[in-house]
Amino acid sequence: MTVIPHGLSNGGFVRDLSDTLCVDAIPLDRIAAEVGTPAYVYNARAMRLAYRTLETALAALPITVCYAVKANANLAVIRIFRDLGAGADVVSVGEMRRALAAGVPAERIVFSGVGKTDAELAAAVDAGIGQVNVESSGELKRLNALAEVRQRRVEIALRVNPDVDAGTLKEITTGTADDKFGIAIDRVPAVFELAAKLPGVSLRGVAVHIGSQIVDLQPYHNAYRRIADLVHQLRDEGHIIDHVDLGGGLAIPYDREPRVDATAFAAVVRETLGALGCRMTIEPGRYLVGSAGVMLARVVEWKEDLARPFLILDAGMNDLMRPALYKAYHPIVAVHGDTGDVTVDVDVVGPICESTDRFARGRAMPRLKAGSLVAIGAAGAYGAALSSEYNSRPLVPEVLVDGSRVAVVRKRPSFEEMVGLESLPPWMEDSPAADRPPTAELPEPDRAAE
Ligand code: LLP
């Protein structure tokens, strides 16, 4: 039986007796035959298991888990966590509407994000969102004005930038002085002073998020210590602080790194923030969904016409961006394990006209024939969510497996659907709109919160 890398086994991907990779008991070749490739496949049970592991570890603390929708925004995925009692962390009005559409109650939604527009803030106020995490004094004033007009008082927290390096990839670090996020910790007291005078907001909390895929707990320790000191200082200055938002960032195994130990993380929270008597929120994304997804792809060619061999897949960087964007490692395995023991170091690439369209460099792979299936593991977070239609490739469909049940939870768009929002201008010959009278002026762009 071929060994399954940790990054896949952690999500419940196993080999059956014929050495075929399965999700739960469903062989992935069956899904590929029905849905085609590329396709994302998610394991609902693995998502629930990750949620329960975290929930159990945090049980002694007054914490609400708000699933970070950005990691995987599929409605069915959001619904899985809603059914387990989670709230949602959203960063755009689109994500807010997804969370609401999946049935998350508005009061369990936290709206984060560094550049919320007036339309988005207004939509959040109108929807009765539980908390807005404000990231600048400008945003604070704009939100206050919007709430005042509506005669509302919005619960907010201030996102603090603690200037702590999360020790993760530079591209996904968010809590250092070099990053655009939050308010510098030494400036936070002044913004609290300002907020105390604003009738449209109720500021009683602080939020912090230092980065993503954090393997080592020490940066959390450092950041939460600073937050605890800040809360003491703010209380000394007369402010009431009863809420701390811990952010997300918990790591999963991609290569050899361990899955972050949720119990050890809980101990860090208890040690640094436990004595404050605050209720807390945590915003995990990747930890809940990352391991629970693979992207299925088919081999187009094993190419040997260059100095080194290339394994060309029908999936590209537009479908899974992380290797191109961050040089991120993802495990890649043959779905049918009966390929013998001989491996070749090969570059695994996609069909996109970009040299960064590479999933792995010099990876030991069996010599796979055209038409063979491969699974790229640990693709449940920031996989489909980051995908695009570059090279006019329709977005990859998403399939959810829940025990013996299988459903397509996002279908592959047809060509017509992909180009359906485009049209030729009326002055172009053969345009269906050519006989319409020319418009004198451009219409006002629709800035409504759609
Ligand atoms: N809360 C806030 C405010 C965030 O900015 C993020 C992620 C999260 C929670 C969830 O973080 P998680 O638990 O998933 O690490 N595209 C990158 C990751 C970007 C993360 C952005 N913020 C990647 O593929 O690695």
Report field, pTM of the whole predicted structure over 0.85: yes
* 47: pLDDT strictly greater than 50: yes
Tokens 């119990």, residue located: 263
* 1: pLDDT strictly greater than 80: no
CA dist 237 and 192 (Å) reads: 10
Instruction: Report, as an integer, the average pLDDT of 29-51.
Output: 98
Neighbouring-strand partners of residue 406: 401
Residues 321 and 275 in one domain: no
pLDDT at position 313 is 98
pLDDT in tens, 161-195: 988 888 877 777 777 888 888 999 999 999 999 99
Protein residue whose Cα sits closest to atom 9 of ligand 1? 248
Residues 241 and 159 in one domain: yes
* Residues 6+ away with beta carbon under 8 Å from 193: 237
Distance of CA 16 from the midpoint of ligand 1 (Å): 34
What's the CATH code of the domain at 131? 3.20.20.10
CA dist 364 and 333 (Å) reads: 10
pLDDT-derived band of residue 72, with 50, 70 and 90 as boundaries? very high
Flag whether 30 is in a domain.
yes
* 148: pLDDT strictly greater than 60: yes
pLDDT at position 449 is 46
Residues 187 and 124 in one domain: yes
Q: Please work out whether the CB of residue 212 comes within 6 Å of at least one atom of ligand 1.
A: yes
- Other CB atoms closer than 10 Å to residue 408's CB: what's the count? 15
pLDDT at position 450 is 43
Domain boundary among 253, 284, 315: 284
Flag whether 388 is in a domain.
yes
Residues 211 and 355 in one domain: no
Which ligand 1 atom lies nearest to the CA of residue 386?
16
Distance of CA 72 from the midpoint of ligand 1 (Å): 11
pLDDT at position 398 is 98
Take residue 349 and report the two structure tokens written for it.
Answer: 């690439």
Neighbouring-strand partners of residue 375: 296, 333
Number of residues assigned to the chain: 450
Residues 278 and 353 in one domain: no
Residues 262 and 299 in one domain: no
Q: How distant, in Å, are the alpha carbons of 123, 132, 133, 143 from that of 116?
A: 11, 10, 10, 10
Residues 277 and 300 in one domain: no
Residues 277 and 298 in one domain: no
**332 within 8 A of 359, measured Cβ to Cβ:** yes
Q: Among residues 22, 66, 278, 353, which one is catalytic?
A: 353
pLDDT in tens, 386-400: 999 999 999 999 999
- The distance of Cα 201 from the centroid of its chain, to the nearest Å, equals 28
pLDDT at position 253 is 96
Residues 280 and 315 in one domain: no
Domain boundary among 268, 284, 300: 284
Told to judge if 353 belongs to the known catalytic residues of this protein, a careful annotator would answer yes
Q: Where are the alpha helices (DSSP H) in 308-437?
A: 322-326, 415-419
Please say whether the dihedral angle defined by the alpha carbons of residues 263, 266, 271 and 277, taken in this order, is positive or negative: negative
What's the CATH code of the domain at 312? 2.40.37.10
Residues 274 and 385 in one domain: no
Q: Which domain holds residue 307?
A: 6-43+290-416
Residues 132 and 273 in one domain: yes
The total domain count for the chain is 2
Flag whether 107 is in a domain.
no
Distance of CA 212 from the midpoint of ligand 1 (Å): 5
Domain boundary among 266, 284, 302: 284
Neighbouring-strand partners of residue 96: none
Residues 323 and 217 in one domain: no
Q: Please work out whether the CB of residue 287 comes within 6 Å of at least one atom of ligand 1.
A: yes
Rg (CA), the chain: 24
Instruction: Report, as an integer, the average pLDDT of 278-288.
Output: 98
